[in-house]
């Protein structure tokens, strides 16, 4: 009898192109991965991978086995779901997200998944888009949400949501809320995401193009740091409006109408085309629905808030 765990290990080594990557994916040591492959080769009396140094390269026999192994594992998942449903089929899922998602609708998604899949084990990794892309490509993540799409034919990318960007400031700064000019805005540092990010590049290019090449910009990889500096009056901020709900509602921060159209911050949900985690597709669809519902609710809330301010005026 062939142990299905050994077969699953074989599939991941073949997909990821190496024993080390498969070990990271399956939370195992590399010697344990090697032991499982050795047992599988003994059971089949075949050599499945080329000898060192190209340990992740399949032999002709290994290539033939891979086609059948993937079908067997898919059939196993289908059987378990059909027999036990969502409440008995156990699956672990690793999701990578940028900080902007943590500050907005991640908790809603996690709660939705928890209620719909009570046996799901979820690991959430918060990191930069660059690192999340690398982790997904290496098989350390099942799903990654990134700023911008994945340019890899092995990865399926779908537009998740677009966060409107806004120029903001602490209400303690003497800047006109409506019609603020660049001279008054750049009297303070402009604080936004880290260098190399889309928001930073957009603001920098805009300032340079309009004659403010010497304007100072402060960058931070943490949204909490950007907001804190903004609240303390260190400078103005360029951020997705949705990440600082409480600060806008209680009047500590305000959105500045500066007559500048900032491109939205686009997020994509990405999953490997070869993933054998059956829940991955459902999570992708749930993520899209949760993100868009959140933004729709935010839009309705913003309209009510603006209407209330206009009525008071």
Longest dimension (CA), the chain: 83
Phi, psi of 107 (to 5 degrees): -60, -35
Q: Which pLDDT score, from 0 to 100, does residue 83 have?
A: 61
User: Do 173 and 239 fall within a single domain?
Assistant: yes
The span from the CA of 224 to the CA of 244, in Å, is 9
Domain for residue 28, yes or no? yes
Q: What angle do CA 80, 85, 90 make, to 5 degrees?
A: 65
For residue 104, the domain's CATH number is 3.40.190.10
User: Do 136 and 218 fall within a single domain?
Assistant: no
Strand order across the 91-97 sheet: 120-126, 91-97, 143-147, 265-272, 155-163
User: Do 253 and 278 fall within a single domain?
Assistant: no
User: Do 255 and 200 fall within a single domain?
Assistant: yes
Q: Which pLDDT score, from 0 to 100, does residue 307 have?
A: 45
Reading the block at residue 288, the tokens are: 């899209």
User: Do 238 and 295 fall within a single domain?
Assistant: no
More confident residue, 81 or 96: 96
The span from the CA of 234 to the CA of 283, in Å, is 40
User: Quick check: bond before 53 cis, omega within 30?
Assistant: yes
Domain for residue 203, yes or no? yes
User: Do 67 and 119 fall within a single domain?
Assistant: no
Contact partners, residue 176, CB within 8 Å, separation at least 6: 184, 256
User: Do 275 and 150 fall within a single domain?
Assistant: yes
- Taking phi over 0 as left and psi of -120 to 50 as alpha, with beta for the rest, 199 belongs to alpha
**3-state helix/strand/coil string of 116-182:** HCCCEEEEEEECCHHHHHHHHHCCCCCEEEEECCCCCCCEEEEEEEEECEEEEEECCCCCCCECCCH
Element of type H or E holding 220:
strand 217-220
User: Do 200 and 224 fall within a single domain?
Assistant: yes
Q: How confident is the model at residue 84 (pLDDT cuts 50, 70, 90)?
A: low
User: Do 256 and 174 fall within a single domain?
Assistant: yes
**Domain's final residue, options 55, 84, 113:** 84
Domain for residue 313, yes or no? no
Cα–Cα separations (whole angstroms), residue 172 to 133, 165, 242, 254: 39, 21, 21, 10
Q: What is the pLDDT of residues 38-79, one digit of tens each?
A: 999 999 999 999 876 556 789 999 999 998 888 887 777 766
| Mean model confidence pLDDT for the chain | 84
Domain for residue 145, yes or no? yes
b/e code 72-86 from CB counts within 10 Å (16+ = b): ebeeeeeeeeeeeee
Domain for residue 51, yes or no? yes
Domain containing 184 equals 165-263
**Domain's final residue, options 37, 52, 84:** 84
User: Do 116 and 155 fall within a single domain?
Assistant: yes
- Total number of domains in the chain: 3
Gyration radius of the chain's alpha carbons:
25
Complete DSSP assignment for 221-282: S-HHHHHHHHHTTS-EEEEEGGGGHHHHHTTSEEE-B-S--PPPEEEEEEEETT---THHHH
User: Do 122 and 247 fall within a single domain?
Assistant: no
Q: Which pLDDT score, from 0 to 100, does residue 278 have?
A: 65
DSSP three-state, residue 104: coil
Q: Which pLDDT score, from 0 to 100, does residue 290 have?
A: 93
More confident residue, 304 or 130: 130
User: Do 177 and 246 fall within a single domain?
Assistant: yes
Model confidence at 270: pLDDT above 80 = yes
For residues 136-141, average pLDDT:
86
DSSP three-state, residue 83: helix
pTM score of the predicted model = 0.70
Q: Which pLDDT score, from 0 to 100, does residue 306 have?
A: 40
Domain for residue 312, yes or no? no
Which region among 65-79, 92-106, 128-142, 284-298 has the lowest average model confidence (pLDDT)?
65-79
Q: How confident is the model at residue 300 (pLDDT cuts 50, 70, 90)?
A: low
**Domain's final residue, options 31, 54, 84:** 84
Domain for residue 290, yes or no? yes
Reading the block at residue 127, the tokens are: 């990191």
Domain for residue 311, yes or no? no
């Amino acid at each position: 009898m062939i142990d299905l765990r050994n077969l699953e290990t074989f599939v991941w080594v073949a997909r990821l192109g190496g024993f080390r990557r498969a070990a990271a994916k399956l939370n195992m040591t590399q010697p344990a991965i090697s032991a499982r492959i050795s047992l599988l080769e003994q059971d089949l009396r075949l050599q499945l991978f080329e000898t060192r140094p190209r340990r992740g390269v399949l032999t002709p026999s290994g290539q033939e086995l891979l086609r059948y192994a993937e079908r067997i594992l898919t059939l196993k998942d289908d059987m378990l779901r059909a027999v036990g449903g969502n409440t008995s089929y156990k699956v672990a899922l690793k999701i990578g997200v940028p900080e902007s998602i943590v500050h907005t609708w991640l908790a809603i998604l996690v709660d939705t998944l928890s209620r719909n899949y009570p046996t799901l084990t979820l690991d959430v990794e918060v990191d930069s888009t660059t690192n999340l892309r690398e982790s997904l490509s290496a098989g350390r993540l099942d799903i990654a949400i990134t700023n911008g799409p994945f340019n890899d034919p092995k990865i399926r990318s779908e537009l998740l949501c677009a966060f409107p960007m806004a120029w903001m400031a602490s209400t303690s700064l003497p800047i006109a809320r409506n019609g603020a000019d660049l001279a008054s805005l750049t009297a303070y540092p402009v604080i936004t995401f880290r260098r190399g990010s889309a928001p930073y590049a957009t603001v920098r290019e805009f300032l340079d193009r309009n004659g403010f090449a010497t304007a100072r910009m402060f960058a931070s990889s943490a949204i909490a740091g950007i907001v804190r500096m903004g609240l303390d009056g260190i400078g103005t901020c360029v951020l997705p409006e949705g990440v600082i709900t409480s600060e806008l509602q209680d009047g500590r921060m305000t959105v500045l109408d500066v007559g500048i159209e900032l491109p939205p911050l686009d997020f994509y949900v990405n999953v490997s085309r070869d993933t054998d985690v059956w829940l991955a597709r459902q999570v992708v669809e749930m993520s899209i629905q949760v993100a868009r519902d959140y933004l729709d609710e935010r839009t309705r809330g913003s309209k009510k808030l603006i209407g209330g301010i206009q009525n008071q005026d």
